[in-house]
Amino acid sequence: MNPERAQDSESMEPAGDTGALAPPVPAAALVPVPEAARELLLRMFADPYALEQGERSELVEQLRESVSRHPEVSALRVLLGMALCVNLDVHEALEELGEGVRLAPDSFIAHLKMGELWMRLRVCKKAEEHTRKAASLARNPGQVELARRQAAAIRKMVREGIERGGYQSPFAVLGRLRRLWRQRRALAIADG
């Protein structure tokens, strides 16, 4: 190439950040997960039913170890919550996903997965709240589409009456029983 043209083309290039041209960051630098856990995660994402019980338990233990070493990393909490869901440990999954949302309130995936878990538990108000937040945090058309589909599934559940009232304290059940006993006692007194 002509040296004068090379100088001209260099002067025309913007002197800005070239971070987009930088080599990709290795996956290990993004989320500190052991290699064995990474293999199991890939299989879990491909098909959650492909993992045997022992593999699911191993994945959960490895992710718990990573979370204990890096408790401030929201993405690890979300991965652990997802693995706990696949392992059918719902209460622990709620805690981990909740902590993931607390650590990163502007995380699309944390809100989406928390909304998905509430949706699967048929607590539609909380599912809708987290899904709406995820939709507002979406940064690309793929994320928008995921949130839209989840919101549509939640609306369908509400429309078809599949929604649960949400989790309540066990004392709420006792309160309903007490009211029922009072009503029966009042009827017995009125009849007697």
Q: What is the pLDDT of residue 179?
A: 82
The whole-number average pLDDT for the span 121-140 is 94
pLDDT digit string (tens) for 144-188? 999 999 999 999 998 888 776 655 566 666 777 788 888 888 888
The whole-number average pLDDT for the span 20-46 is 70
The whole-number average pLDDT for the span 20-30 is 47
Q: What is the pLDDT of residue 80?
A: 94
pLDDT digit string (tens) for 52-99? 999 999 999 999 999 999 999 999 999 999 999 999 999 999 999 999
Q: Which residues contact 53 (CB under 8 A, 6 or more apart)?
A: none
Band (pLDDT 50/70/90 cuts) for residue 27 is: very low
The whole-number average pLDDT for the span 95-119 is 95
Structural domains of the chain ordered from first start: 29-166 (1.25.40.10)
pLDDT at residue 133 greater than cutoff 70: yes
pLDDT at residue 29 greater than cutoff 60: no
The whole-number average pLDDT for the span 2-11 is 47
Phi then psi for residue 46, to 5 deg, are -70, -45
Q: How far apart are CA 121 and CA 116, in angstroms?
A: 9
The whole-number average pLDDT for the span 95-112 is 94
Q: What is the pLDDT of residue 37?
A: 87
Band (pLDDT 50/70/90 cuts) for residue 33 is: confident
Q: How far apart are CA 105 and CA 92, in angstroms?
A: 19
Closest CA to 119 of 86, 161, 157, 80: 157
Closest CA to 76 of 26, 31, 46, 30: 31
Q: How far apart are CA 54 and CA 56, in angstroms?
A: 5
Average predicted confidence (pLDDT) for the chain: 82
